Structure 1
């Protein structure tokens, strides 16, 4: 036995079970043409903890491998790769993101935490908007622009810094190196097309229809991804117009902030609703069951944030603007502050895993 093996810490229960199942999969290789997990698995015969974390974050839980496998229960091997990789994936986020206890708390009490935070922060915004009302300030009559910047800038940047520290450790443990343009192109291309939600064959995955393929989950994810990016573009364009063009809000319908914001809000709302519908249909035994409530709560918070923004636009010029603005900003701030501890963090880790996989596979 080598010194490295003597010094290696024993794998935890989830890691050990993932190691067992992946060794069986690696011997069988029936699912060779499936998602990115399988090429990564087939490069080696045994797996360290970093390898297991890497493959778990490559897994998109499409479940095609489970429904194709001959070794699932009641077979004595009892393979359930989607579930065990989901558990390892969740444990990886909880171990890399600090403080660790907040991720576990959210996934156990997500609904209560998200709703309480959104309402509490919304009430604070309501009080601030009432106390500082200035009818001559246009859109910012309800809440001063400088106050919004002072609140939201650190609330957005601080969680990103926490995620960046976690990604640094993940990158080191999984053998990542400085990415090339080709690595980034491969990873971002995969994300843009949701390639791994097609099960590797383009027909879709089996998330909600067992042995029948469907692209419904792939399209829902694309709606959420592009909706979120469009909303971000809306905020970014409004910031540029405010500071560099001396053009403060409100903006007309045919301006970039409104065009990006409305289209993004619609996509994000519809995508979140569809993801909730699919999750309610999916077999919970093929996921990390302990975090089901937290994942559901995060998707609901995402959809509620987008929906409240759309309602705010519809209510323009009415008395409903002030309470809707307070609630919307409460949802947005809650989403930002909880970003490292909700499933939103999976986007950062999955993109990192795809970049690292592009490096290890030579871009294939």
Structure 2
């Protein structure tokens, strides 16, 4: 830990600017090298561009025991974390989750699960899951829980954009950012060999693949939910849906990808080198990954055991974990996806203005 992460990151960035050995490794270094000095906003932008692949650390000749003692991934992880906490709405929630995330995630999922357990068999009726919990009850509970995180994230991103001196956004900036995020380009390494995240002597695409499994698995699950909503309201086709329906065709592979990706990320996070991460927030990181794993695992379990006596308990656990996931999104590691995307948009603006 550094007493002043921003000031320490500024010191290290100035040394990196003199060396430039890592110029082609990721988006951080081209963005760094356009500056002669670094404002707090510049450092915040660099920190959120950094994907903590750690290649630069392993290539650097100025790491400890050298007197410069560079550890750019480690110090940027601390700056990045502080930027999320300071721009979160409300800020106290961001700090609380990242310090005690695992406990907050588990107790939130348990509390929400008890809420759904208490709400089962309310009047309303229906088939499948709706026979346990009425559709109107689900809407009444989930709609506010979906809208509040969007509002909180919008406020946080607005604060972040102001901090990094973001310019008016063009369509090309957005498409460039999404293209980078879709391919996880900044986890590919400067020569496309991958990261040295888990072993400083070996490059690997494992972390990149696991991130893609989580991202695309989540998007498929979200698309499954959205398609079910459209079928319900636009075509008067309520659940349950068959195996070959659109929601199942999207949700099943999405759930499997999420399960594999989150389990792999928990293992990889445990294997990672602690001094290159921000150890203060490991509870929050593991809490988020664990919560997302519970969401995907219980969703698949519901499909497998939907005709058993365990349906009600499984449904309460699944819906409780989903509700906790949404409510905690602005403060969990899930928010980093939105901040990283904003950083990539800002980087696209940088490239456009300097081309």
Give the TM-score category using the shorter length: over 0.9
Whether the aligned pair in 1 keeps the contact of 2:48 and 2:343 (CA below 8 Å) is yes
Q: Match of 2:334, SS?
A: helix
- Is 1:65 paired with 2:65? no
Aligned to 1:268: 258
Aligned to 1:238: 228
The counterpart of 1:78, out of the listed 69, 81, 84, is: 69
Q: Match of 1:178, SS?
A: coil
Trace 1:256-335 onto structure 2 (pairs within 5 A).
256-335=246-325
Aligned to 1:173: 163
Instruction: Using the TM superposition, give the Cα deviation of residue 38 of structure 1 relative to its aligned residue in structure 2, in angstroms.
Output: 0.2
Instruction: Using the TM superposition, give the Cα deviation of residue 357 of structure 1 relative to its aligned residue in structure 2, in angstroms.
Output: 0.3
Aligned to 1:201: 191
Aligned to 1:30: 21
CA distance, structure 1, for counterparts of residue 146 and residue 81 of structure 2 = 23
Aligned to 1:226: 216
Whether the aligned pair in 2 keeps the contact of 1:133 and 1:142 (CA below 8 Å) is no
CA distance, structure 1, for counterparts of residue 190 and residue 132 of structure 2 = 50
The counterpart of 1:153, out of the listed 135, 143, 147, is: 143
- Is 1:124 paired with 2:115? yes
Deviations 1:309-347 (A, max 9, x none): 000110111111110000000100000011111111000
More deviation in 107-116 or 282-291? 107-116
Q: Which runs of 5+ in 1 are unaligned?
A: 1-11
Aligned to 1:357: 347
Instruction: Using the TM superposition, give the Cα deviation of residue 132 of structure 1 relative to its aligned residue in structure 2, in angstroms.
Output: 4.3
**Structure-1-length-normalised TM-score:** 0.94
Instruction: Using the TM superposition, give the Cα deviation of residue 157 of structure 1 relative to its aligned residue in structure 2, in angstroms.
Output: 1.2
The counterpart of 1:42, out of the listed 33, 36, 42, is: 33
Aligned to 1:106: 97
Deviations 1:10-50 (A, max 9, x none): xx811101101101111111101111000000001110011
The counterpart of 1:56, out of the listed 27, 43, 47, is: 47
CA distance, structure 2, for counterparts of residue 285 and residue 341 of structure 1 = 23
Instruction: Using the TM superposition, give the Cα deviation of residue 202 of structure 1 relative to its aligned residue in structure 2, in angstroms.
Output: 1.1
Q: Which runs of 5+ in 2 are unaligned?
A: none
CA distance, structure 2, for counterparts of residue 93 and residue 209 of structure 1 = 28
RMSD: 1.5
More deviation in 202-211 or 235-244? 202-211
CA distance, structure 2, for counterparts of residue 138 and residue 303 of structure 1 = 24
Q: Match of 2:37, SS?
A: coil
Instruction: Using the TM superposition, give the Cα deviation of residue 139 of structure 1 relative to its aligned residue in structure 2, in angstroms.
Output: 3.3
